[in-house]
Amino acid sequence: MTVGLNAFILVAGLLFAVGLLGVLLRQNTLVIYMSLELMLNAVNLALVAFSRYNGTMDGNLFVFFIITVAAAEVAVGLAIIVALFRRRQSVMVDQLNALSR
């Protein structure tokens, strides 16, 4: 494969930027959460690319731990969103403004 490390890092950076755009742009909390997962995924891709081109296994282990932590984080975050929906009947971030009133 003649594709270099910089091409992989370019793709990972663009994925991270798209995820950040989703966090900034959307109102639905679930979509914001999916964009967060996309950003974690971009970091995973960058770590695997660095690990492959560096010739060591450490980046892959980091990605292993990141996937584990992300799974736990998704479970807790979705439970929080469900609890929020039960109390406020909405998951739109512009209606969750109890602190600003």
- Report 63-92 residues binding another protein (CB under 8 A): 63-65, 67-76, 78-83, 85-86, 90-92
Measured CA to CA, the distance from residue 35 to residue 67 in angstroms comes to 15
24 binds another protein (CB under 8 A): yes
**In the bound complex, what is the minimum distance in angstroms from residue 22's beta carbon to another protein?**
4
**In the bound complex, what is the minimum distance in angstroms from residue 99's beta carbon to another protein?**
18
36 binds another protein (CB under 8 A): no
Structure tokens at 101: 């009133």
**Which one, of 18, 21, 28, lies nearest residue 81 by Cα?**
28
Give the chain's largest Cα–Cα span.
Answer: 57
